[in-house]
Structure 1
Protein backbone atom coordinates (compact mmCIF):
# COMPACT_ATOMS: atom_id res chain seq x y z
CA UNK A 1 0.00 0.00 0.00
CA UNK A 2 1.73 3.18 -1.23
CA UNK A 3 -0.07 5.34 1.33
CA UNK A 4 1.55 3.36 4.15
CA UNK A 5 4.97 3.91 2.64
CA UNK A 6 4.29 7.65 2.71
CA UNK A 7 3.55 7.76 6.47
CA UNK A 8 5.48 10.45 8.34
CA UNK A 9 5.75 10.42 12.14
CA UNK A 10 7.95 13.50 12.53
CA UNK A 11 5.20 15.40 14.38
CA UNK A 12 4.21 12.58 16.78
CA UNK A 13 4.87 13.39 20.45
CA UNK A 14 2.15 11.43 22.27
CA UNK A 15 1.28 7.76 21.77
CA UNK A 16 -1.59 5.55 22.89
CA UNK A 17 -1.54 1.74 22.93
CA UNK A 18 -4.37 -0.79 23.10
CA UNK A 19 -5.02 -4.39 22.12
CA UNK A 20 -7.84 -6.13 20.28
CA UNK A 21 -8.73 -9.77 19.92
CA UNK A 22 -9.17 -11.27 16.47
CA UNK A 23 -10.78 -14.66 15.96
CA UNK A 24 -10.54 -15.96 19.50
CA UNK A 25 -7.17 -15.81 21.20
CA UNK A 26 -5.29 -14.01 18.43
CA UNK A 27 -4.44 -10.43 19.38
CA UNK A 28 -3.32 -7.33 17.58
CA UNK A 29 -1.78 -4.28 19.22
CA UNK A 30 -2.66 -0.83 17.91
CA UNK A 31 -0.35 2.17 18.35
CA UNK A 32 -1.87 5.58 17.68
CA UNK A 33 -0.93 9.22 17.92
CA UNK A 34 -2.84 11.43 20.32
CA UNK A 35 -4.32 14.63 18.91
CA UNK A 36 -2.51 17.87 19.66
CA UNK A 37 -3.96 19.68 22.68
CA UNK A 38 -4.03 23.46 22.93
CA UNK A 39 -4.93 25.58 25.95
CA UNK A 40 -7.00 28.67 25.18
CA UNK A 41 -6.96 32.08 26.90
CA UNK A 42 -9.40 30.81 29.53
CA UNK A 43 -7.22 27.83 30.39
CA UNK A 44 -9.49 25.31 28.71
CA UNK A 45 -7.94 22.38 26.87
CA UNK A 46 -9.12 21.72 23.31
CA UNK A 47 -8.22 19.28 20.58
CA UNK A 48 -6.25 21.01 17.83
CA UNK A 49 -5.67 18.03 15.51
CA UNK A 50 -6.87 14.50 14.81
CA UNK A 51 -5.38 11.34 16.22
CA UNK A 52 -4.50 8.50 13.86
CA UNK A 53 -3.47 4.87 13.86
CA UNK A 54 0.30 4.66 13.39
CA UNK A 55 1.04 0.95 13.53
CA UNK A 56 -0.88 -2.32 13.87
CA UNK A 57 0.93 -5.54 14.70
CA UNK A 58 0.03 -9.09 15.66
CA UNK A 59 0.66 -10.01 19.31
CA UNK A 60 0.55 -8.16 22.63
CA UNK A 61 3.93 -8.73 24.31
CA UNK A 62 7.04 -6.58 24.66
CA UNK A 63 8.23 -7.57 21.20
CA UNK A 64 5.48 -5.47 19.61
CA UNK A 65 7.09 -2.33 21.08
CA UNK A 66 10.40 -3.19 19.41
CA UNK A 67 8.61 -3.61 16.08
CA UNK A 68 6.82 -0.31 16.57
CA UNK A 69 10.08 1.47 17.43
CA UNK A 70 11.63 0.23 14.19
CA UNK A 71 8.64 1.47 12.17
CA UNK A 72 8.53 4.74 14.12
CA UNK A 73 12.16 5.61 13.40
CA UNK A 74 11.88 4.54 9.76
CA UNK A 75 9.05 7.07 9.34
CA UNK A 76 11.02 10.07 10.67
CA UNK A 77 9.75 9.60 14.21
CA UNK A 78 12.04 10.74 17.03
CA UNK A 79 11.63 8.57 20.17
CA UNK A 80 13.16 11.33 22.31
CA UNK A 81 10.35 13.71 21.33
CA UNK A 82 7.60 11.40 22.59
CA UNK A 83 6.46 13.01 25.83
CA UNK A 84 3.51 10.77 26.72
CA UNK A 85 2.47 7.14 26.26
CA UNK A 86 -0.91 5.87 27.50
CA UNK A 87 -2.05 2.29 28.04
CA UNK A 88 -4.10 -0.08 30.20
CA UNK A 89 -2.96 -1.41 33.59
CA UNK A 90 -2.52 -5.01 32.51
CA UNK A 91 -0.31 -4.59 29.46
CA UNK A 92 3.07 -6.26 29.81
CA UNK A 93 4.91 -3.88 27.50
CA UNK A 94 4.87 -0.65 29.52
CA UNK A 95 8.43 -1.27 30.68
CA UNK A 96 9.44 -1.61 27.02
CA UNK A 97 7.80 1.74 26.28
CA UNK A 98 9.82 3.35 29.08
CA UNK A 99 13.04 1.77 27.79
CA UNK A 100 12.55 2.78 24.16
CA UNK A 101 10.83 6.15 24.62
CA UNK A 102 12.99 7.38 27.46
CA UNK A 103 11.51 10.88 27.74
CA UNK A 104 7.89 9.75 27.76
CA UNK A 105 5.68 9.84 30.83
CA UNK A 106 3.94 6.45 30.75
CA UNK A 107 0.37 6.99 31.86
CA UNK A 108 -2.28 4.43 32.78
CA UNK A 109 -5.51 5.42 31.07
CA UNK A 110 -8.01 6.58 33.71
CA UNK A 111 -10.94 5.08 31.82
CA UNK A 112 -9.29 1.66 31.99
CA UNK A 113 -8.88 2.08 35.76
CA UNK A 114 -12.57 2.92 36.08
CA UNK A 115 -13.44 -0.02 33.80
CA UNK A 116 -11.50 -2.37 36.10
CA UNK A 117 -13.43 -1.21 39.18
CA UNK A 118 -16.71 -1.45 37.22
CA UNK A 119 -15.84 -5.03 36.28
CA UNK A 120 -15.13 -5.76 39.94
CA UNK A 121 -18.56 -4.43 40.93
CA UNK A 122 -20.24 -6.48 38.22
CA UNK A 123 -18.37 -9.60 39.34
CA UNK A 124 -19.61 -9.07 42.91
CA UNK A 125 -23.17 -8.61 41.64
CA UNK A 126 -23.00 -11.83 39.60
CA UNK A 127 -21.56 -13.73 42.55
CA UNK A 128 -24.42 -12.60 44.79
CA UNK A 129 -26.99 -13.36 42.09
CA UNK A 130 -25.64 -16.92 41.88
CA UNK A 131 -25.45 -17.40 45.65
CA UNK A 132 -29.03 -18.75 45.78
CA UNK A 133 -29.79 -16.39 48.66
CA UNK A 134 -33.32 -15.31 47.81
CA UNK A 135 -33.16 -11.77 49.25
CA UNK A 136 -29.98 -11.00 47.30
CA UNK A 137 -31.28 -12.47 44.05
CA UNK A 138 -34.59 -10.61 44.34
CA UNK A 139 -32.89 -7.30 45.11
CA UNK A 140 -30.32 -7.54 42.32
CA UNK A 141 -32.48 -9.00 39.55
CA UNK A 142 -32.34 -6.80 36.41
CA UNK A 143 -30.05 -4.20 38.03
CA UNK A 144 -26.79 -4.73 36.13
CA UNK A 145 -26.73 -1.41 34.28
CA UNK A 146 -27.62 0.57 37.39
CA UNK A 147 -24.20 -0.26 38.81
CA UNK A 148 -22.28 0.24 35.56
CA UNK A 149 -23.64 3.60 34.42
CA UNK A 150 -22.34 6.88 35.76
CA UNK A 151 -24.88 8.28 38.27
CA UNK A 152 -25.39 11.36 36.11
CA UNK A 153 -26.43 9.18 33.16
CA UNK A 154 -29.26 7.46 35.05
CA UNK A 155 -32.90 8.42 34.56
CA UNK A 156 -34.88 9.70 37.53
CA UNK A 157 -36.51 6.29 37.92
CA UNK A 158 -33.14 4.53 37.80
CA UNK A 159 -31.64 6.93 40.35
CA UNK A 160 -34.55 6.27 42.71
CA UNK A 161 -34.10 2.51 42.31
CA UNK A 162 -30.35 2.78 42.95
CA UNK A 163 -30.95 4.88 46.05
CA UNK A 164 -33.38 2.25 47.29
CA UNK A 165 -30.84 -0.54 46.72
CA UNK A 166 -28.10 1.48 48.43
CA UNK A 167 -29.98 1.14 51.71
CA UNK A 168 -29.62 -2.66 51.65
CA UNK A 169 -26.53 -3.13 53.78
CA UNK A 170 -26.55 -6.92 53.36
CA UNK A 171 -25.52 -6.53 49.70
CA UNK A 172 -21.79 -6.66 48.97
CA UNK A 173 -22.67 -5.14 45.60
CA UNK A 174 -23.66 -1.93 47.37
CA UNK A 175 -20.35 -1.84 49.23
CA UNK A 176 -18.42 -2.54 46.01
CA UNK A 177 -20.34 0.23 44.25
CA UNK A 178 -19.27 2.69 46.95
CA UNK A 179 -15.65 1.90 46.06
CA UNK A 180 -16.45 2.47 42.39
CA UNK A 181 -17.81 5.94 43.25
CA UNK A 182 -14.75 6.60 45.38
CA UNK A 183 -12.44 5.87 42.44
CA UNK A 184 -14.50 8.16 40.19
CA UNK A 185 -14.36 10.90 42.83
CA UNK A 186 -10.58 10.48 43.04
CA UNK A 187 -10.25 11.41 39.37
CA UNK A 188 -12.89 14.14 39.40
CA UNK A 189 -11.66 15.99 42.48
CA UNK A 190 -8.00 16.54 41.54
CA UNK A 191 -6.75 18.92 38.87
CA UNK A 192 -3.01 18.85 39.59
CA UNK A 193 -0.19 16.56 40.70
CA UNK A 194 0.27 17.84 44.23
CA UNK A 195 0.51 16.75 47.85
CA UNK A 196 -3.27 16.56 48.23
CA UNK A 197 -3.40 14.10 45.32
CA UNK A 198 -0.71 11.87 46.82
CA UNK A 199 -2.42 11.82 50.21
CA UNK A 200 -5.77 10.93 48.63
CA UNK A 201 -4.17 8.21 46.50
CA UNK A 202 -2.53 6.60 49.54
CA UNK A 203 -5.84 6.73 51.40
CA UNK A 204 -7.80 5.19 48.51
CA UNK A 205 -5.17 2.50 47.92
CA UNK A 206 -5.38 1.55 51.59
CA UNK A 207 -9.19 1.40 51.45
CA UNK A 208 -9.40 -0.92 48.45
CA UNK A 209 -6.54 -3.16 49.58
CA UNK A 210 -8.14 -3.63 53.01
CA UNK A 211 -11.60 -4.38 51.63
CA UNK A 212 -13.17 -7.64 52.75
CA UNK A 213 -14.60 -8.09 49.26
CA UNK A 214 -12.30 -10.30 47.20
CA UNK A 215 -12.90 -8.56 43.87
CA UNK A 216 -12.20 -5.12 45.36
CA UNK A 217 -9.06 -6.39 47.04
CA UNK A 218 -7.84 -7.73 43.67
CA UNK A 219 -8.53 -4.34 42.12
CA UNK A 220 -6.53 -2.82 44.98
CA UNK A 221 -3.53 -4.93 44.00
CA UNK A 222 -3.68 -3.52 40.47
CA UNK A 223 -4.24 0.00 41.78
CA UNK A 224 -1.18 -0.08 44.03
CA UNK A 225 1.08 -1.99 41.63
CA UNK A 226 0.49 0.65 38.96
CA UNK A 227 0.45 3.65 41.27
CA UNK A 228 3.17 5.71 39.60
CA UNK A 229 1.61 5.42 36.16
CA UNK A 230 -1.91 6.02 37.50
CA UNK A 231 -0.71 9.23 39.16
CA UNK A 232 1.06 10.28 35.96
CA UNK A 233 -2.39 11.05 34.54
CA UNK A 234 -2.37 14.20 36.67
CA UNK A 235 0.83 15.28 34.93
CA UNK A 236 -0.28 14.59 31.35
CA UNK A 237 -4.10 14.49 31.52
CA UNK A 238 -3.87 12.11 28.59
CA UNK A 239 -6.26 9.18 28.21
CA UNK A 240 -7.07 6.61 25.57
CA UNK A 241 -10.45 8.27 25.04
CA UNK A 242 -9.54 8.78 21.40
CA UNK A 243 -9.54 4.99 21.10
CA UNK A 244 -13.26 4.89 21.85
CA UNK A 245 -13.98 6.35 18.43
CA UNK A 246 -11.56 3.92 16.85
CA UNK A 247 -13.03 1.03 18.87
CA UNK A 248 -16.40 1.29 17.15
CA UNK A 249 -14.74 1.49 13.73
CA UNK A 250 -12.45 -1.46 14.47
CA UNK A 251 -15.44 -3.49 15.72
CA UNK A 252 -17.20 -2.89 12.41
CA UNK A 253 -14.02 -3.82 10.54
CA UNK A 254 -13.66 -6.96 12.68
CA UNK A 255 -17.20 -8.05 11.84
CA UNK A 256 -16.51 -7.54 8.16
CA UNK A 257 -13.12 -9.22 8.52
CA UNK A 258 -14.82 -12.59 8.92
CA UNK A 259 -14.82 -12.59 5.15
CA UNK A 260 -11.10 -11.81 5.00
CA UNK A 261 -8.82 -14.77 4.44
CA UNK A 262 -6.01 -13.58 6.71
CA UNK A 263 -5.03 -11.18 9.47
CA UNK A 264 -3.09 -8.97 7.08
CA UNK A 265 -6.28 -7.90 5.33
CA UNK A 266 -7.87 -7.04 8.68
CA UNK A 267 -4.85 -4.91 9.61
CA UNK A 268 -4.84 -3.17 6.23
CA UNK A 269 -8.48 -2.22 6.69
CA UNK A 270 -7.67 -0.65 10.07
CA UNK A 271 -4.99 1.46 8.40
CA UNK A 272 -7.38 2.39 5.60
CA UNK A 273 -10.20 3.50 7.93
CA UNK A 274 -8.27 4.87 10.93
CA UNK A 275 -4.81 5.78 9.65
CA UNK A 276 -5.56 9.21 8.16
CA UNK A 277 -3.54 8.10 5.15
CA UNK A 278 -2.92 10.28 2.11
CA UNK A 279 -3.79 8.48 -1.10
CA UNK A 280 -2.46 9.71 -4.44
CA UNK A 281 -5.27 10.65 -6.81
CA UNK A 282 -3.96 8.09 -9.30
CA UNK A 283 -4.54 5.29 -6.75
CA UNK A 284 -8.26 5.97 -6.46
CA UNK A 285 -9.09 6.86 -10.07
Structure 2
Protein backbone atom coordinates (compact mmCIF):
# COMPACT_ATOMS: atom_id res chain seq x y z
CA UNK A 1 0.00 0.00 0.00
CA UNK A 2 2.78 2.48 0.78
CA UNK A 3 4.43 1.82 -2.59
CA UNK A 4 1.12 2.23 -4.42
CA UNK A 5 0.35 5.48 -2.59
CA UNK A 6 3.81 6.88 -3.31
CA UNK A 7 3.60 5.92 -6.96
CA UNK A 8 0.16 7.51 -7.28
CA UNK A 9 1.36 10.75 -5.69
CA UNK A 10 4.72 11.12 -7.42
CA UNK A 11 4.21 9.17 -10.65
CA UNK A 12 0.55 9.69 -11.54
CA UNK A 13 0.93 8.30 -15.08
CA UNK A 14 2.78 5.16 -14.00
CA UNK A 15 1.15 1.76 -14.31
CA UNK A 16 1.90 -0.54 -11.41
CA UNK A 17 2.89 -4.12 -12.15
CA UNK A 18 2.61 -6.77 -9.48
CA UNK A 19 5.46 -9.14 -10.09
CA UNK A 20 5.37 -12.92 -9.94
CA UNK A 21 7.69 -13.05 -6.93
CA UNK A 22 5.37 -11.08 -4.67
CA UNK A 23 2.27 -12.88 -5.92
CA UNK A 24 3.90 -16.25 -5.22
CA UNK A 25 4.86 -14.95 -1.79
CA UNK A 26 1.17 -14.32 -1.05
CA UNK A 27 0.21 -17.81 -2.20
CA UNK A 28 3.07 -19.41 -0.23
CA UNK A 29 1.99 -17.57 2.91
CA UNK A 30 -1.55 -18.84 2.38
CA UNK A 31 -0.32 -22.43 2.01
CA UNK A 32 1.69 -22.06 5.21
CA UNK A 33 -1.31 -20.58 7.03
CA UNK A 34 -3.40 -23.58 5.99
CA UNK A 35 -0.66 -25.93 7.22
CA UNK A 36 -0.36 -24.05 10.53
CA UNK A 37 -4.09 -24.34 11.08
CA UNK A 38 -4.13 -28.02 10.27
CA UNK A 39 -0.99 -29.12 12.11
CA UNK A 40 -2.89 -29.27 15.43
CA UNK A 41 -5.18 -32.01 14.14
CA UNK A 42 -2.66 -33.64 11.80
CA UNK A 43 0.59 -34.33 13.70
CA UNK A 44 2.22 -35.76 10.54
CA UNK A 45 2.40 -32.15 9.23
CA UNK A 46 4.86 -31.11 11.92
CA UNK A 47 8.23 -30.03 10.52
CA UNK A 48 6.96 -30.13 6.93
CA UNK A 49 6.82 -26.40 6.25
CA UNK A 50 9.50 -26.35 3.54
CA UNK A 51 8.09 -29.42 1.78
CA UNK A 52 5.09 -27.30 0.79
CA UNK A 53 6.95 -24.07 0.03
CA UNK A 54 10.00 -25.21 -1.92
CA UNK A 55 9.93 -26.04 -5.60
CA UNK A 56 10.06 -29.77 -6.28
CA UNK A 57 13.45 -29.50 -7.97
CA UNK A 58 14.93 -28.08 -4.74
CA UNK A 59 13.76 -30.92 -2.51
CA UNK A 60 16.04 -33.75 -1.44
CA UNK A 61 15.03 -37.33 -2.21
CA UNK A 62 13.71 -38.02 1.31
CA UNK A 63 11.75 -34.76 1.25
CA UNK A 64 10.19 -35.68 -2.09
CA UNK A 65 9.18 -39.08 -0.75
CA UNK A 66 7.61 -37.56 2.36
CA UNK A 67 5.75 -34.97 0.28
CA UNK A 68 4.40 -37.65 -2.07
CA UNK A 69 3.19 -39.68 0.91
CA UNK A 70 1.44 -36.63 2.37
CA UNK A 71 -0.16 -35.77 -0.98
CA UNK A 72 -1.84 -39.19 -1.09
CA UNK A 73 -3.97 -38.20 1.92
CA UNK A 74 -7.08 -36.80 0.21
CA UNK A 75 -8.35 -35.19 3.43
CA UNK A 76 -5.37 -32.89 3.98
CA UNK A 77 -6.33 -29.27 3.44
CA UNK A 78 -2.63 -28.45 3.16
CA UNK A 79 -2.38 -30.77 0.15
CA UNK A 80 -5.30 -28.93 -1.46
CA UNK A 81 -3.62 -25.57 -0.79
CA UNK A 82 -0.39 -26.98 -2.26
CA UNK A 83 -2.23 -27.90 -5.47
CA UNK A 84 -3.49 -24.31 -5.68
CA UNK A 85 0.12 -23.17 -5.28
CA UNK A 86 1.40 -25.42 -8.08
CA UNK A 87 -1.37 -24.36 -10.45
CA UNK A 88 -0.78 -20.69 -9.68
CA UNK A 89 2.94 -21.10 -10.30
CA UNK A 90 2.28 -22.76 -13.66
CA UNK A 91 0.05 -19.88 -14.77
CA UNK A 92 2.97 -17.50 -14.46
CA UNK A 93 5.10 -19.48 -16.90
CA UNK A 94 2.81 -18.22 -19.69
CA UNK A 95 3.88 -15.16 -21.62
CA UNK A 96 0.55 -14.32 -23.26
CA UNK A 97 -1.68 -11.85 -21.35
CA UNK A 98 -4.96 -13.17 -22.75
CA UNK A 99 -4.13 -16.80 -22.03
CA UNK A 100 -2.74 -15.87 -18.61
CA UNK A 101 -5.91 -13.92 -17.78
CA UNK A 102 -8.11 -16.85 -18.78
CA UNK A 103 -6.18 -19.31 -16.63
CA UNK A 104 -5.95 -16.86 -13.75
CA UNK A 105 -9.74 -16.28 -13.82
CA UNK A 106 -10.31 -20.04 -13.61
CA UNK A 107 -7.83 -20.27 -10.73
CA UNK A 108 -9.58 -17.42 -8.93
CA UNK A 109 -12.98 -19.07 -9.29
CA UNK A 110 -11.66 -22.32 -7.85
CA UNK A 111 -9.80 -20.51 -5.08
CA UNK A 112 -12.80 -18.39 -4.09
CA UNK A 113 -15.02 -21.44 -3.76
CA UNK A 114 -12.47 -23.48 -1.83
CA UNK A 115 -12.94 -24.10 1.87
CA UNK A 116 -9.48 -22.68 2.54
CA UNK A 117 -9.83 -19.15 4.00
CA UNK A 118 -6.19 -18.12 3.38
CA UNK A 119 -6.48 -19.16 -0.29
CA UNK A 120 -9.82 -17.32 -0.58
CA UNK A 121 -8.16 -14.20 0.88
CA UNK A 122 -5.36 -14.38 -1.72
CA UNK A 123 -7.95 -14.75 -4.48
CA UNK A 124 -9.73 -11.57 -3.38
CA UNK A 125 -6.41 -9.73 -3.08
CA UNK A 126 -5.53 -10.65 -6.66
CA UNK A 127 -8.98 -9.63 -7.85
CA UNK A 128 -8.56 -6.23 -6.15
CA UNK A 129 -5.30 -5.68 -8.05
CA UNK A 130 -6.38 -7.33 -11.29
CA UNK A 131 -4.95 -4.81 -13.79
CA UNK A 132 -1.54 -4.73 -12.09
CA UNK A 133 -1.41 -8.53 -11.93
CA UNK A 134 -2.27 -8.89 -15.61
CA UNK A 135 0.25 -6.22 -16.55
CA UNK A 136 2.99 -8.67 -15.50
CA UNK A 137 2.14 -10.92 -18.46
CA UNK A 138 3.01 -8.05 -20.82
CA UNK A 139 5.97 -6.46 -19.09
CA UNK A 140 7.55 -9.39 -17.19
CA UNK A 141 8.92 -6.66 -14.91
CA UNK A 142 10.26 -7.73 -11.56
CA UNK A 143 12.03 -5.86 -8.82
CA UNK A 144 14.10 -8.88 -7.81
CA UNK A 145 17.37 -7.05 -8.53
CA UNK A 146 16.35 -4.19 -6.25
CA UNK A 147 15.34 -6.66 -3.56
CA UNK A 148 18.79 -8.22 -3.82
CA UNK A 149 20.49 -4.83 -3.60
CA UNK A 150 18.40 -3.95 -0.56
CA UNK A 151 19.36 -7.22 1.11
CA UNK A 152 23.08 -6.51 0.61
CA UNK A 153 22.77 -2.96 1.91
CA UNK A 154 20.77 -4.04 4.98
CA UNK A 155 23.38 -6.70 5.70
CA UNK A 156 26.19 -4.12 5.51
CA UNK A 157 24.22 -1.78 7.75
CA UNK A 158 23.74 -4.51 10.34
CA UNK A 159 27.41 -5.53 10.28
CA UNK A 160 28.59 -1.98 10.86
CA UNK A 161 25.95 -1.30 13.53
CA UNK A 162 25.44 2.10 11.96
CA UNK A 163 27.53 4.64 10.10
CA UNK A 164 28.75 7.96 11.42
CA UNK A 165 27.26 9.92 8.50
CA UNK A 166 24.84 9.37 5.65
CA UNK A 167 27.70 10.03 3.24
CA UNK A 168 29.67 7.09 4.69
CA UNK A 169 26.63 4.84 4.37
CA UNK A 170 26.09 5.87 0.73
CA UNK A 171 29.78 5.30 -0.05
CA UNK A 172 29.58 1.83 1.52
CA UNK A 173 26.51 1.05 -0.61
CA UNK A 174 28.41 2.04 -3.77
CA UNK A 175 31.39 -0.04 -2.66
CA UNK A 176 29.29 -3.16 -2.01
CA UNK A 177 26.99 -2.90 -5.01
CA UNK A 178 29.68 -1.72 -7.41
CA UNK A 179 31.54 -5.03 -7.05
CA UNK A 180 34.86 -3.26 -7.30
CA UNK A 181 37.99 -5.38 -7.30
CA UNK A 182 40.12 -3.85 -4.56
CA UNK A 183 42.88 -6.44 -4.54
CA UNK A 184 46.40 -5.14 -4.93
CA UNK A 185 48.14 -6.14 -8.16
CA UNK A 186 50.49 -9.07 -7.75
Query: Which bin holds the TM-score, normalised by the shorter protein?
Result: 0.7 to 0.9
Q: Is the 8 A contact 1:121 1:180 kept in 2?
A: yes
Q: Is the 8 A contact 1:98 1:106 kept in 2?
A: no
Shift of 1:173: 0.8
Query: TM-score, length-normalised on structure 1?
Result: 0.56
The correspondence of residues 119-134 of structure 1 with structure 2, limited to 5 A, is 119-129=29-39, 131=40, 133=41
For the pair 1:205 / 2:115, whether they are aligned, the reply is no
| Cα distance, 1:215–1:242 mapped onto 2, change above 3 Å | same
Q: Which residue of 1 aligns with 2:136?
A: 233
Matched residue count: 180
Shift of 1:103: 4.4
Q: Is the 8 A contact 1:186 1:200 kept in 2?
A: yes
* SS state at 2:73 partner: coil
Shift of 1:274: 6.0
| Cα distance, 1:212–1:105 mapped onto 2, change above 3 Å | same
Larger strand fraction of residues = 1
Q: Which residue of 2 aligns with 1:110?
A: 20
Gaps of 5+ in 1: 1-90, 277-285
* SS state at 1:107 partner: coil
Larger helix fraction of residues = 2
Shift of 1:251: 3.5
Cα separation, 2, equivalents of 1:264 and 1:211: 50
Q: Deviations over 1:11-57 (max 9, x none)?
A: xxxxxxxxxxxxxxxxxxxxxxxxxxxxxxxxxxxxxxxxxxxxxxx
Q: Deviations over 1:56-111 (max 9, x none)?
A: xxxxxxxxxxxxxxxxxxxxxxxxxxxxxxxxxxx333254245334433101210
Query: TM-score, length-normalised on structure 2?
Result: 0.82
* SS state at 2:72 partner: coil
Calculate the aligned-residue CA RMSD, in Å: 2.7
* Larger RCO of the pair (alpha carbons < 8 Å, separation 6+): 2
The correspondence of residues 16-95 of structure 1 with structure 2, limited to 5 A, is 91-95=1-5
